[in-house]
């Protein structure tokens, strides 16, 4: 199935990205983006800090240039802006940052308040991988289409 989108995936390979979300999801997504899609996570902003987050944030430093623990919006926006990302993964609240920077925004973290989902759309497992890749590629393609 992925062979159908191989050329699209090559087109975004190496793209610098930011990941914003709760530690359990953001860290897993960061590793997936790095290992499986060859994306470059420049900033990972973990919105919840706890003992698990502290342990995991040390591990995630191997995959990103900057880890932010419970950043305020200004610090997060400034760090993302300075890092030159081309795609932002986050919640509905992070769409403004993406809009201001003129980059695609992929919703993967809660809350998602500007979208309706009537069906199961997992990001875990084989079905989840296809769903996530579809969302990434469609967001990038639709964004480029809107720019022209």
Domain ranges (residues) in the chain = 13-120
- Eight-state DSSP code of residue 138: H
Secondary structure of residue 31 in the 3-state scheme: helix
pLDDT, tens digit, 9 for 90 and up, residues 74-127: 999 999 999 999 999 998 888 899 999 999 999 887 645 455 554 555 566 667
| Distance separating alpha carbons of residues 93 and 112, to the nearest angstrom | 8
| pLDDT value at residue 90 | 93
pLDDT, tens digit, 9 for 90 and up, residues 9-48: 888 899 999 999 988 888 889 999 999 999 999 999 998 8
Q: Looking at the structure, give the CATH architecture of the domain made up of residues 13-120.
A: 3-Layer(aba) Sandwich (3.40)
pTM, entire model: 0.86
Which residue(s) pair with 89 in the sheet?
Answer: 19, 106
| pLDDT value at residue 110 | 61
């Amino acid at each position: 199935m992925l062979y159908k989108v191989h050329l699209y995936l090559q087109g975004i390979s190496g793209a610098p990205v930011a990941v914003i979300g709760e530690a359990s999801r953001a860290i897993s997504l960061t590793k997936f983006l790095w290992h499986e899609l060859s994306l470059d996570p420049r900033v990972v902003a973990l919105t919840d800090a706890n003992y698990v987050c502290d342990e995991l944030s040390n591990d995630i430093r191997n995959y990103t240039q900057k880890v932010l623990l419970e950043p305020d919006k200004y610090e997060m926006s400034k760090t993302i802006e300075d890092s030159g990302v081309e795609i932002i993964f986050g919640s509905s609240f992070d769409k403004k940052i993406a809009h201001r920077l003129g980059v695609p925004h992929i919703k993967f973290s809660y809350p998602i308040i500007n979208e309706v989902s009537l069906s199961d759309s997992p990001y875990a497992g084989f079905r989840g991988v296809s769903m996530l890749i579809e969302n990434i590629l469609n967001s990038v393609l639709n964004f480029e289409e809107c720019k022209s």
